[in-house]
Chains A and B, each alone.
Chain A
Amino acid sequence: MTTTSLAPAVSTLTIGVRRGGIELLQFMRDKTSLIFTFFFPAMLLLLFGAIFTDSYDLPGLSAAQVFTSSMIAYGVISTSFITMGVGIATDREDGTLKRLRGTPVTATAYFLGKLILVAALTAGEVVVLLAVGVLVFDMPLPSEAGRWVTFAWLFVLSVTSCGLLGIAASALVRNSRTAGAVLNVPVVALQFLSGVFIHPITQLPDWMITFASVFPVKWMAQGFRSVFLPDAATTFEAGGAWEHGRIALVLGAWCVVGLVLCLTTFRWTSRRD
């Protein structure tokens, strides 16, 4: 028995990475949520791209390309915010969290595992959406390194803010069966308000743009457009520019808000203790 106390504890980082592996394995085996999470945004993109075929007054810019870049924001939200929120509600209900609570797995290790899951799924989602954009709508992929640098920090900030907000939102969800429906309401509403489904965003009333500017979605969509569309397309943005600084600021602020909400609202169990 003495060997137990002498052996060093397994580090939170190691456990977190292993949690990430086991989370991915479980997600891949749940075919329904796999298909829904990955292919729903791709299907929406195909539909929007096929419906809105008009092109803009810019050479080489089609509506489908605009939708592709905006829809990446939707894909990121779907795989990070929704997967996180539903996943934690499910873990709370099926006993996963209760089990882990009785082991040396810390909350940090558990969340690290979830963030690894969400980052991997989101990367896969972006690849699927880009494949649709490139293969179906002839969207050119940027060749300048600077645009991919923008993509990288935007991806990290988007996944982190949406993932943390998903953790916080899971506290509001009563049970996992309704989690998907409950969490999708603000997500779908914000897609419309933020010019993901409606482009250019300048078609929206000013108050709507102002309201949407408080939330991350508008800035994520704008950011992904800045990666994949020519700079001349800034004429279709509310601010007339890509506003990278402001995008980073708003998403960074949401990361902080999400972290604070997580720390204050996260519950290991659903019942009173």
Chain B
Amino acid sequence: MTAINVRGLRKTYGSHHAVDGLDLDVEVGEVFALLGPNGAGKTTTVEILEGHRRRTSGEVTVLGLDPGHADRHWRARIGIVLQSTSDAADLTVHEIVRHIGGCYPNPRGAAEVIDLVGLTDKSKAKVRTLSGGQRRRLDVALGIVGRPEIVFLDEPTTGFDPEARRQFWHLIRRLSAEGSTILLTTHYLDEAEALADRLAVIADGAIVAEGTPATLGGRATAEAVVSWSGGHREHAADPVALIMRLVAEGADLTGLTVTRPTLEDTYLALIGEAR
């Protein structure tokens, strides 16, 4: 069953095509990451899926409905983690989480959600006193308090320190384990690799590659680079065969390394081609 289904999505501002013929399928229960450089159309796409923006053309369904004509019942089933907010500054963490939760038919308890995002000791603090990272965690809490079937996160860990990112990853895995579908955009390739079941690279408003972190862009079958002592370096589709040959030839193999392209190499190659 698909949670998100997008065909030929276009969003045009004047003569600029922010999204230009994008296709996307996300299965129920999947963690899906959308990667791409700034201005590639990630945020525009996600905001169209969330019902925040109108599209120029194309077909979009999220949880079986068109987000462009969504009602409050549909909105009760999705959770949105906003990118940069400064609202509710004069309320406490607990007050705003309880208030937003109260708008949903079957919310999580405020204390439970606050604990999930690790803000329990800030529960009674005014939102304006939170640090940037704490504020982002509050945004996550507000996005999941309604027990959404699908959660949208647009660059959720921007500005997090490494420890906060690890905690956040743990939280996403937990939400996923509970059955939520998750769509996230990110700049961090390690994040996509750690979290995503599948990912897609978006460039110039269209998907240029899609797959699992291990197979994206032919990564699993790409040639490996074998290097060894004396500055030797060779590309090989089958590095094991090369090494066997080298051994047979009696080459000096101290300093032997075999490297496959990292996700970052693959990603940079993909967006480079698209340019």
Contacts and interface: CB of A to CB of B under 8 A. Distances in A.
Contacts of B36: none
B80 A102 contact: yes
Query: Chain B, interface size: which category?
Result: 35 or more
A269 B91 contact: no
Interface string A62-85: 000000000000000000000000
B266 to A, nearest CB: 33
A185 interface: no
B100 to A, nearest CB: 6
Contacts of A18: 99, 102-103
Nearest to B28: A1
B215 to A, nearest CB: 29
A269 B72 CA distance: 18
Most chain B beta carbons < 10 A, residue from A99, A101, A269, A272: A99
B72 A9 contact: yes
Interface stretch (A25-33, A36-44, A248-256): A25-33
A74 B78 CA distance: 44
Interface stretch (A48-56, A89-97, A150-158, A233-241): A89-97
Contacts, number: 95
Interface magnitude class on chain A = 20 to 34
B135 to A, nearest CB: 11
A143 interface: no
A37 to B, nearest CB: 15
B204 interface: no
A103 interface: yes
A5 interface: yes
Interface in A243-273: 269, 272-273
A96 B88 CA distance: 7
A106 B80 contact: no
A10 B51 contact: no
A59 interface: no
B85 A94 contact: yes
8 contacts: A9-B105, A10-B105, A22-B95, A25-B91, A96-B88, A99-B85, A103-B146, A269-B52
Interface of A: 1, 3-5, 7-10, 15, 18, 22, 25-26, 29-30, 91, 94-96, 98-99, 101-106, 269, 272-273
Given A18-B102, A273-B52, 8 more contacts: A4-B148, A10-B103, A22-B91, A22-B95, A22-B99, A94-B87, A102-B80, A105-B72
Interface of B: 13, 50-54, 72-73, 75-80, 82, 84-91, 95-96, 99-100, 102-106, 142, 146-149, 179
